Amino acid sequence: MEFNKWLDEYINDEKTANFYGRWNKELLREAAREEAKEEGSNQRNYDIAREMLNDNVEASKVAKYTGLSINDIRNIR
> What does the pLDDT read at residue 70?
94
Domain ranges of the chain: 2-76
pTM: 0.55
> What does the pLDDT read at residue 58?
95
- pLDDT by residue (tens digit) across 9-57? 776 777 766 666 666 777 888 888 888 888 777 889 999 999 999 999 9
Give just the sign of the alpha carbon dihedral 40, 17, 22, 20. Answer: negative
* CB 45 within 8 Å of CB 67: yes
